[in-house]
Structure 1
Amino acid sequence: MIRLQKAQEPAVLTSNAETWKQEYLGAIAAGKKRSEIPARYRHATVKSAIAVEAFGKCIYCESKISHALFGDIEHIVPVSIDPSLVVDWTNLGYVCQLCNNHKRDYWDVNLPIINPFGEDPKDHLRFYGPWVTHKAASDRGQITVRVLGLNRTYLLERRKERLDRLTPLVDQVFSMPEGPAKAAMMKFLMEEASASAEYAATVSSYLEHQLVDVPVADETTAIRELDGSVQAPLQRSAESAPGPEISANTSNTDAE
């Protein structure tokens, strides 16, 4: 999990949010089930913008979302707790089905799951190899790891694969002489920890520790850039950036 910046609210949501909210609240008051109410927050333009701001990854586990691992629109505060937030832009996030199923309707105002849009996950989480653990004495970190299942087998295997691919390159850069080739290798490694890369928090932590002793002239700059790479703000709008293919399905079938 990395810190993310909320993109600009899509115009279609700005124009229709109040109408869609009242439609939802009215349906709930009339006794309808959520599955019977149109999921307006799944409008294709809204979902595309949400996917882009998350770099096409789950905002919680950082898995790249594809046709093989479908994406859901997550309500950070579940609508079962506060239905008035059903189409609130700041309450919507892009998640994989597994994280969505793990979280379901969890909400505790005194112990909420980390919100990567409103706070820095590094204040609560630590990354050791493929494992994610909570920072000492961070109840928020502990509940986030447990509720979301951030150490489930699939994630451990995928993170390990990422690190295993990078380890030979890290070993190589230590023995390379100064010059363009070494600089290019360092640049490549930095890009592997960028916000758009899969499991960026895991890779960033690994490289930050492994490269600290690399004898390069610009070592300090390189490590500083690495440390900040996963916190870089989104520099492009949802309209101009490419994103995953999004369907216009508005049926209401998510776990909340």
Structure 2
Amino acid sequence: MENWQWSKLMIKVKRTKIPKSLQVNEATWKSELLYQIKLKGEYSKVTSTYKERYKQDDIKEALEKMYSEKCCYCETIIGIASYEHIEHLRPKGLKQFHHLSFDWDNLHWSCQICNNKKRDQWNEQAPILDPCTDDPEQHIDFDLSTCKAVEKDGSERGKTTISHVDLNREKLVRARKRVKDRAMKYIVQIKKTESTLDDEFYKKELRNMLKGDPNTGDIAEYSMLIKKMVETYL
């Protein structure tokens, strides 16, 4: 198989440099939040003024760029059909994670649906995958367009991730199937054509699905699924 180039998706991504607003303010924001929690008696009684200071433009821009405008979990492009959310992988609403509310390593870019599905769920024994430190491909696989946990060590964390953000919700599976069907058409053409020009054309179209099309500005969605198809059929 030739050396295909993959776009960023729910695979391991490189976390970018901490945004300036966090560099300057993280310690103060954390100290004041923890003080307010102690003063009010519980996290839920603290106002958003102290809890949501991470909603800064430079933080949003850094996360959006880091995840190539896609949800860190489901790979759907954010901002077209749903609002973007700054996701706390370790839920900031849980007592043991209040202090991570402004920790750069705990912030991710998520679609509204995945974030609302996950909420404050946390599995200490098999925590949800962190795309910046884990390789999701070692934990999650696809059966057609349905996610499943890899059947080897680490699969429990794959199960947690699939469950906590509901990666097999009906509309998401349908969206992946549309992409899968399109990719399969290109794969079939690549395998059966005897024309070098046709071969290059269909491979280019498949690459555009994997890494986005610079000519149209299209962003690649569900690239992990397409990568698995290429590995299986080409």
Q: TM-score range by the shorter chain?
A: 0.7 to 0.9
For 2:46 and 2:63, the matched residues in 1 are separated by 21
Q: What is the one-letter code of the residue matched to 1:204?
A: K
Shift of 1:180: 4.1
For 2:47 and 2:175, the matched residues in 1 are separated by 33
For 1:143 and 1:10, the matched residues in 2 are separated by 30
**Residue 88 of structure 2: which of 75, 82, 85 is its match?**
75
Q: What is the one-letter code of the residue matched to 1:102?
A: K
Could you say which residue in structure 1 is the equivalent of 2:73? Answer: 60
For 1:67 and 1:184, the matched residues in 2 are separated by 29
**Residue 33 of structure 2: which of 24, 38, 42 is its match?**
24
Whether 1:147 aligns to 2:160 is: no
TM-score, length basis structure 1: 0.77
Moved more, 192-201 or 116-125: 192-201
Shift of 1:181: 4.0
Could you say which residue in structure 2 is the equivalent of 1:230? Answer: none
**Residue 226 of structure 2: which of 197, 203, 209 is its match?**
203
Could you say which residue in structure 2 is the equivalent of 1:186? Answer: 203
**Residue 177 of structure 1: which of 191, 194, 197 is its match?**
194
**Residue 43 of structure 1: which of 52, 56, 78 is its match?**
56
Shift of 1:19: 1.4
Conserved? CA contact 1:128–1:202, under 8 Å:
no
Conserved? CA contact 2:139–2:157, under 8 Å:
yes
Higher relative contact order (CA 8 A, sep 6+): 1
Unmatched runs of 5 consecutive residues or more in structure 2:
1-9, 213-218
How many residues are matched? 211
Residues 13-43 of structure 1: CA deviation (Å, up to 9, x unaligned)? 1111111112221222221624543411111
Q: Secondary structure at the match of 2:211?
A: coil
Q: What is the one-letter code of the residue matched to 1:23?
A: E
Could you say which residue in structure 1 is the equivalent of 2:150? Answer: 135
Conserved? CA contact 1:159–1:199, under 8 Å:
yes
Cα 1:36–1:9 shift into 2, 3 Å = closer
| Aligned counterparts, 1:173-252, within 5 A | 173-194=190-211, 197-211=220-234
Could you say which residue in structure 2 is the equivalent of 1:229? Answer: none
Q: Secondary structure at the match of 1:95?
A: strand
Could you say which residue in structure 1 is the equivalent of 2:4? Answer: none
Q: What is the one-letter code of the residue matched to 2:189?
A: Q
For 1:35 and 1:148, the matched residues in 2 are separated by 26
Conserved? CA contact 1:12–1:46, under 8 Å:
yes
**Residue 163 of structure 1: which of 180, 183, 192 is its match?**
180
Conserved? CA contact 1:126–1:134, under 8 Å:
yes
Unmatched runs of 5 consecutive residues or more in structure 1:
212-256
For 2:47 and 2:162, the matched residues in 1 are separated by 29
Whether 1:119 aligns to 2:113 is: no
Q: Secondary structure at the match of 1:72?
A: strand
Conserved? CA contact 2:123–2:160, under 8 Å:
no
Conserved? CA contact 1:2–1:200, under 8 Å:
no
Moved more, 84-93 or 8-17: 8-17
Moved more, 200-209 or 88-97: 200-209
Shift of 1:179: 2.6
Deviating beyond 6 angstroms after TM superposition, the runs of 4 or more aligned structure 1 residues are none
TM-score, length basis structure 2: 0.83
Residues 40-75 of structure 1: CA deviation (Å, up to 9, x unaligned)? 111111011111101111101111101421111111
Moved more, 118-127 or 25-34: 25-34
